[in-house]
Amino acid sequence: MSTSADNELVARVVSGQDTAAFGELVRRHQSHVRNFLRKLSGDHTLADDLAQDCFIHAWEKLQTYSGRGSFIGWLLKVAYTTFLQSKRKSKRYAEIIHSAGHHADIESGSDAPANDEFTDVEKFLAVLTEEERAIMVMSYACGLSHREIGEATDLPVGTVKSVIFRGKEKIRNSFDIKDYNHG
């Protein structure tokens, strides 16, 4: 995915509010963003809604993209922020419902998949904390460099490296990953 082509499209959007150029940016990166959010949230419908919100936020903040790092790195930062904001909101919502005494309704209506419905990656991700999950997905699924992950998560590169190391260790300790097939 060419960064110069991305930068050209960004320039067109920022200079003239070109929605066609923005549409092209969405087409180029929707798969990465949606896959990232699917892995992070574990819910495909929610992830797609969040991906739409992420692109709307990106449209509004596009002038803050300096063009120094990769565009996908910047976009995943927006996606991660959107995910965290949504999580905070839903947590607040759950607290309100809980205090209103409807907790039991939520639990009975939960559509969480049965354990055997989880994919291998979902099982791996389940043993990680939210931050570790985001960083591992950015690194191994999206192919971002440690510097790009640092920029996306506002963490120093050293911290990113240690989070990846810790995440790998957790996966290694919980599963024998050599037993899993490639692909």
Which residues of this protein are in contact with other proteins, per CB under 8 A?
A: 17, 19, 22-23, 26-27, 30-31, 34-35, 38-39, 48, 51-52, 55-56, 59, 120-121, 124, 136-137, 140-141, 143, 145-147, 157, 168, 171-172, 177-178, 180, 182-183
Least distance from other proteins to the Cβ atom of residue 146, Å: 6
Phi, psi at 41, each rounded to 5°: -95, -25
75-79 CB contacts, 8 Å cutoff, 24+ apart: 75/29, 75/32, 75/33, 76/32, 76/33, 76/36, 76/138, 76/142, 76/144, 76/152, 77/151, 77/152, 77/153, 78/54, 79/33, 79/36, 79/37, 79/50, 79/51, 79/54
Least distance from other proteins to the Cβ atom of residue 114, Å: 21
The C-alpha atoms of residue 138 and residue 148 are separated, in whole angstroms, by 9
Q: Which residue has the tokens 């990953």?
A: 177
Least distance from other proteins to the Cβ atom of residue 145, Å: 6
CB atoms within 10 A of CB 58: 25
| Nearer to other proteins among residue 116 and residue 178 (C-beta) | 178
| Nearer to other proteins among residue 105 and residue 120 (C-beta) | 120
Q: For 112-151, b where at least 16 C-beta lie within 10 A, e where not — what string?
A: eeeeeeeeeeeebbeebeebbbbbbbbbeebebebebbbb
Least distance from other proteins to the Cβ atom of residue 7, Å: 19
| Nearer to other proteins among residue 58 and residue 77 (C-beta) | 58
Least distance from other proteins to the Cβ atom of residue 106, Å: 28
Least distance from other proteins to the Cβ atom of residue 131, Å: 16
